[in-house]
């Protein structure tokens, strides 16, 4: 009797271990599998996202899942910010019969390697959110891009900063020197969006006739926790000298706000203007509460939808634009426009996440 029970317990333990190992797996085929109930009736689209826990990309992923429903079998993978892992995932997706690929690159420099693998099997590739070099797209007739015009977000953010400064100069210009003293949280160095947002935001403020002084600028790699750490150090060093916090994305803006709150800001008369890019729901809450001046809507919903629309057409052997509202520019790219969001038009941001 005892031996029988022992064997049963051992069997259950082994079974549980297998289930746990499967559930916790981070191999190249992990992720969502939209359309699996349709089985082989739906074409397979193999997709990767540079990391699932990126604030903005989590919303793009949701939009992709929604758009894929009953249209394609979406094999979606978390590359965990590891380019080598992403390359392995692409190999696995091709081996599993993906009819097209949708790739959010970890490193834009790896685009050619992925295209070479896809081209060898005559598989179309839709890059999204991180734009590869133009030569990668022109070098393969079945390679496309879905994203934005990077400079546009910087220009709009610069206009937002300039309007806020001019409207609140008496409050924001703490030392009354007429200059806007700022700190800037930058995204990943070399990332097209990070470089363009940084350059065009500041250039646009200057073009509006506003004098600026950079107190500090450093990367926080798009990450809220890293941004909090940077902001903690800047407050300790500059404190009241800081008159504006500019962030390349909302994740870092939210991290900066967490740091500022610890330092007593947004309580009583102690205020710090903060701007970001993406207009994610968490940032919209901060805008509504008055803790953020505004953000620039990076339309996750339409980026995800456009990516799946093109990838589904490609998987079915159709023209990528067939039956869609999208248009390609001269760089074989679908450009989803940015929109400025402040408290006055916050519903625009909310509508983007319905």
pLDDT digits (tens, 9 = 90+) for 104-118: 999 999 999 999 999
Note whether 162 and 150 are within 8 A (CB). Answer: no
pTM score? 0.80
Does residue 229 fall inside a structural domain?
yes
Q: What is the pLDDT along the chain (354 residues), one digit of tens a residue?
A: 434 444 433 343 434 443 333 333 333 344 455 544 444 689 999 999 999 999 899 999 999 999 999 999 999 999 999 999 999 999 999 999 999 999 999 999 999 999 999 999 999 999 999 999 999 999 999 999 999 998 999 999 999 999 999 999 999 999 999 999 999 999 999 888 999 999 999 999 999 999 999 999 999 999 999 999 999 999 999 999 999 999 999 999 999 999 999 999 999 889 999 999 999 999 999 999 999 999 999 999 999 999 999 999 999 999 999 999 999 999 999 999 999 999 999 999 999 888
Does residue 346 fall inside a structural domain?
no
Q: At what angle do helices 111-120 and 83-95 cross, to 10 degrees?
A: 10
For residues 215 and 182, membership in a common domain is answered with yes
Which range of residues forms the domain containing residue 332? 11-148+299-337
Assign residue 237 the CATH number of its domain.
Answer: 3.40.50.2300
For residues 49 and 72, membership in a common domain is answered with yes
Q: Total domain count for the chain?
A: 2
348/96 Cα distance (integer angstroms): 40
Does residue 349 fall inside a structural domain?
no
For residues 166 and 237, membership in a common domain is answered with yes
For residues 130 and 246, membership in a common domain is answered with no
* Residue whose entry in the numeric block shows the structure tokens 């050619």: 112
For residues 181 and 131, membership in a common domain is answered with no
327/68 Cα distance (integer angstroms): 20
For residues 178 and 103, membership in a common domain is answered with no
For residues 323 and 225, membership in a common domain is answered with no
Distance of CA 281 to the CA centre of its chain: 13
Does residue 37 fall inside a structural domain?
yes
For residues 171 and 136, membership in a common domain is answered with no
For residues 184 and 223, membership in a common domain is answered with yes
Does residue 342 fall inside a structural domain?
no
For residues 179 and 282, membership in a common domain is answered with yes
For residues 173 and 211, membership in a common domain is answered with yes
The helix or strand, by DSSP H or E, that contains position 81, with its residue range, turns out to be none
């Amino acid at each position: 009797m005892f031996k029988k029970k022992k064997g049963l317990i051992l069997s259950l333990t082994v079974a549980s271990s297998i289930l746990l190992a499967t559930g916790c797996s981070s191999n190249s085929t992990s992720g969502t599998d939209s359309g699996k109930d349709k089985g082989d009736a739906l074409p397979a689209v193999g997709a990767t996202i540079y990391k699932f826990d990126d604030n903005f990309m989590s919303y793009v992923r949701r939009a992709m899942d929604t758009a894929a429903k009953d249209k394609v079998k979406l094999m979606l993978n978390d590359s965990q910010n590891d380019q080598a892992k992403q390359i392995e995932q692409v190999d696995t997706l091709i081996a599993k019969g993906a009819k097209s690929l949708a790739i959010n690159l970890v490193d834009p420099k790896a685009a050619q390697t992925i295209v070479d693998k896809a081209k060898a099997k005559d598989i179309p590739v839709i890059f999204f959110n991180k734009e590869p070099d133009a030569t990668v797209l022109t070098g393969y007739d079945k390679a496309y891009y879905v994203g934005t015009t990077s400079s546009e977000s910087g220009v709009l953010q610069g206009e937002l900063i300039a309007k806020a400064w001019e409207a609140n100069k008496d409050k924001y210009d703490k030392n009354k020197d007429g200059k806007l003293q700022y700190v800037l949280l930058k995204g990943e160095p070399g990332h097209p969006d990070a470089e363009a947002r940084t350059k065009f935001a500041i250039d646009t403020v200057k073009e509006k006739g506003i004098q600026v002084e950079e107190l500090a600028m450093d990367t926080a790699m798009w990450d809220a926790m890293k941004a909090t750490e940077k902001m903690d150090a800047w407050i300790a060093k500059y404190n009241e000298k800081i008159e504006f916090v500019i962030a390349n994305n909302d994740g870092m803006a939210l991290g900066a706000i967490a740091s500022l709150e610890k330092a007593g800001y947004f309580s009583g008369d102690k205020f710090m203007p903060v701007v970001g890019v993406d207009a994610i729901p968490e940032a919209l809450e901060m805008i509504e509460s008055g803790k953020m001046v505004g953000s620039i809507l990076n339309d996750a919903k339409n980026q995800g939808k456009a990516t799946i629309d093109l990838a589904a057409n490609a998987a079915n052997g159709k023209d990528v634009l067939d039956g869609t509202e999208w248009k390609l520019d001269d760089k074989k790219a679908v450009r989803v426009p940015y929109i400025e969001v402040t408290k006055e038009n916050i519903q625009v941001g909310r509508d983007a996440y319905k």
